[in-house]
């Protein structure tokens, strides 16, 4: 991981957007999609979570809580994927990630909240390590699957009257940005039978057709190469 200070990064990159990311982090994944959908170029800075780089002093200067992603935009340093996406929405209005209709906006916020509050944090790296140490390695997958199934059941009900080509109609909005990484990890990493969730399964297939989403897939990130070859 680069050890340059924020000020040095700004000088070296002429205020180009800098994303501190880990290839397998779904929070980083959703932010990569948002940047791609808005057509924003950025420099990718890999933070290896397995090697503990998120706890290095230079990274903690960027994010004191030690999580990815972090976005540096000139003098602005923003962490937490939800906060970063709202920042991008305010500063870079091209391709809005929130609809103008107030009810549809609320559906997008609800879908994003289910993913970011009720699913993803309950199977992040720290929690799974804790379960492995305190309960046993065989309990990790059943725990993750139960958490995802509960969240996906709620999302199916939430989106039933609102989905179209995408989660809340025929345009890409915030709900899609949060759903795509969660669906990807459910299918690729945690063996969730997607036929149990027809709406989410259809969305999962649709996201694979969109270049802005495909380019953000974990497997396509520069720091994935070494780990995938091991």
pLDDT tens-digit readout, 3-24: 344 444 443 445 689 999 999 9
CA distance 63 to 80: 9
Q: Where are the domain boundaries for CATH 3.40.30.10 in the chain?
A: 17-94
Is residue 119 packed enough to be buried (19+ CB in 10 Å), middle (13-18) or exposed (0-12)? buried
Neighbouring-strand partners of residue 71: 19, 78
Strand partners, 169: 166
Around Cβ 128, how many Cβ atoms within 10 Å? 17
- Give the pTM: 0.88
Q: Cβ distance 192 to 219 under 8 Å?
A: no
Q: Worst-scoring range by mean pLDDT, 78-82, 93-97, 104-108, 193-197?
A: 193-197
Q: What is the CA radius of gyration of the chain?
A: 18
- CATH code assigned to 17-94: 3.40.30.10
In this structure, the number of other CB atoms found within 10 A of the CB of residue 87 comes to 15
Q: Which residues belong to CATH 1.20.1050.10 in the chain?
A: 102-216
Among 3.30.1330.40, 3.40.50.300, 1.20.1050.10, 2.80.10.50, what is the CATH number of 102-216?
Answer: 1.20.1050.10
Residue-wise pLDDT for 31-69, tens only, equals 999 999 999 999 999 999 999 999 999 999 999 999 999
Return the structure tokens found at 221: 């990130």
């Amino acid at each position: 991981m680069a050890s340059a200070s924020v000020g040095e990064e700004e000088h070296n990159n002429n205020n180009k957007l800098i994303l501190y990311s880990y290839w397998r982090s779904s929070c980083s994944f959703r932010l990569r999609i948002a940047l791609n959908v808005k057509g924003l170029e950025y420099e990718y800075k890999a933070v290896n979570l397995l090697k503990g780089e998120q706890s290095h002093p230079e990274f903690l200067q960027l994010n004191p809580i030690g999580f990815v992603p972090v976005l540096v935009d000139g003098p602005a340093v923003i962490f937490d994927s939800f906060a970063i996406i709202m920042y991008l929405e305010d500063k870079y209005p091209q391709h809005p990630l929130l609809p103008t209709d107030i009810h549809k906006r609320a559906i997008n916020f609800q879908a994003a909240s289910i993913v970011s509050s009720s699913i993803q944090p309950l199977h992040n790296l720290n929690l799974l390590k804790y379960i492995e140490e305190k309960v046993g390695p065989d309990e990790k997958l059943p725990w993750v699957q139960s958490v995802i199934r509960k969240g996906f059941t709620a999302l199916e009900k939430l989106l039933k009257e609102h989905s179209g080509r995408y989660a809340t109609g025929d345009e890409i909005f915030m709900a899609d940005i949060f759903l795509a990484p969660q669906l990807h990890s459910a299918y690729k990493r945690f063996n969730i039978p997607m036929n149990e969730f027809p709406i989410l399964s259809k969305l999962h297939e649709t996201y694979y057709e969109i270049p802005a989403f495909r380019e953000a897939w974990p497997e396509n990130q520069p720091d994935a190469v070494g780990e995938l070859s091991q």
